[in-house]
């Protein structure tokens, strides 16, 4: 096993970022957060990359949350830069122009659940367990958990999860809309994520970016502003080569080969 705490694979238009601390259930220490941020930016800036997958190594954990060893001895002042870095990473992932998929291969707790929530699409294996257990440590989520969880699952369910710190099963997470799909095994999950990523790689990049921005507007804009944004974005797609390629392919009953321009 590699010594690197986060692995990056870039092939076939897909960047796969894998947290690699199996003996610590992929806990997120400072180095892991820094590396994920670096790799996310690398994926964002590489034009050949069309989709980003975030996952954990092995079959036990996506990520078990912030590395609790790094909390010892910290006070409000010394913890602030650390939590700000984690939160900034989530905001960055959410604002990336490319679709992000969380492949949740086991525990997604605390920061793990928060990283997954900052991705666009969440697929999980049936052994996955999700939760915000910070309350059990006498603290609260800090990578956007109290902000994104209610937006994903509703305020009542989010309060129950954050106040109790209880973990929920993949099946329950699916039922409440926290994950999109559940696969029986981790291998099935990886195959399902590969299939989704391969499908998304072929989609027109500019349209995907604009659709993502407008969809994200549901959380950050007023209804009126979001509708105006959508109109502007819709019109913008009409200046792309991909629009001509897509429309022409439909009309000639062919398959579009988008150029992401
Ligand atoms: N930070 C640091 N180390 C962690 C960790 C975390 N968030 N989560 C797990 N680990 C480490 C454990 O300390 C243990 O290390 P050790 O073998 O050196 O003692 C190893 O990972 C395995 O964990 P363990 O607790 O023995 O496994 P388990 O199967 O009994 O439980 C979890 C797995 C994930 C449920 C449990 O480890 C856990 O609750 N982790 C903390 C989750 C959390 O509170 N996250 C939010 C932090 S803000």
Domains of the chain (ranges, CATH numbers): 6-201 (3.90.226.10), 205-251 (1.10.12.10)
**Percent of the chain with pLDDT strictly greater than 90:** 99
Q: From the CA of 67, how far away is ligand 1's center (Å)? A: 8
Distance of CA 65 to CAs 49, 60, 124, 187, 216, Å? 27, 13, 17, 23, 25
Residue-level pLDDT at 229? 98
Mean pLDDT of 43-52: 98
Mean pLDDT of 118-131: 98
Spell 186-204 as b/e; 16+ CB within 10 A means b: beebbebbbebbeebbebb
- Ligand 1: residues with CB < 6 A are 24-25, 27, 64-69, 107, 109-110, 133-134, 137
Protein residue with least CA distance to atom 40, ligand 1: 64
**Residue 131 DSSP code:** E
Catalytic residues: 114, 134
> Which residue from 30, 64, 109, 136 has its CB within 8 A of the most atoms of ligand 1, so it is best to mutate?
64
For the chain, what is the mean pLDDT? 97
Q: How many helices (H) and strands (E) does the chain have?
A: 10, 10
Indicate whether 1 pLDDT > 50: no
Ligand 1, closest atom to CA 141? 48
Mean pLDDT of 77-100: 97
């Amino acid at each position: 096993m590699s010594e690197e705490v986060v692995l990056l694979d870039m092939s076939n238009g897909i960047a796969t970022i894998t947290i690699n601390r199996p003996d610590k259930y992929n806990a997120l220490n400072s180095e892991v957060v820094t590396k994920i941020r670096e790799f996310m930016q690398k994926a964002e800036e590489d034009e050949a990359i069309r989709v980003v997958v975030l996952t954990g190594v092995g079959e036990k954990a996506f990520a078990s949350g912030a590395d609790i060893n790094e909390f010892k001895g910290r006070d409000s002042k010394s913890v602030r830069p650390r939590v700000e870095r984690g939160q900034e990473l989530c905001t960055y992932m959410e604002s990336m122009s490319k679709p992000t998929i969380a492949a949740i291969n086991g525990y997604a707790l605390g920061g793990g659940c928060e990283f997954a929530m900052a991705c666009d699409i969440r697929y999980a294996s049936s052994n996955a367990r999700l939760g915000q257990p910070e309350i059990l440590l006498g603290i609260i989520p800090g990578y956007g958990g109290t902000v994104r969880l209610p937006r994903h699952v509703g305020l009542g369910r989010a309060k129950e999860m954050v106040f109790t710190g209880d973990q929920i099963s993949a099946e329950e997470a699916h039922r409440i809309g926290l994950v999109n799909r559940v696969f029986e095994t981790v291998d099935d999950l990886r195959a399902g994520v590969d299939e989704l990523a391969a499908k998304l790689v072929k989609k027109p990049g500019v349209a995907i970016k604009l659709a993502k921005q407008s969809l994200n507007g549901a959380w950050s804009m007023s209804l009126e502003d979001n509708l105006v944004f959508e109109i502007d974005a819709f019109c913008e797609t009409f200046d792309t080569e991909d629009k001509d390629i897509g429309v022409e392919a439909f009309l000639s009953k062919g398959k579009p080969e988008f150029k992401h321009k």
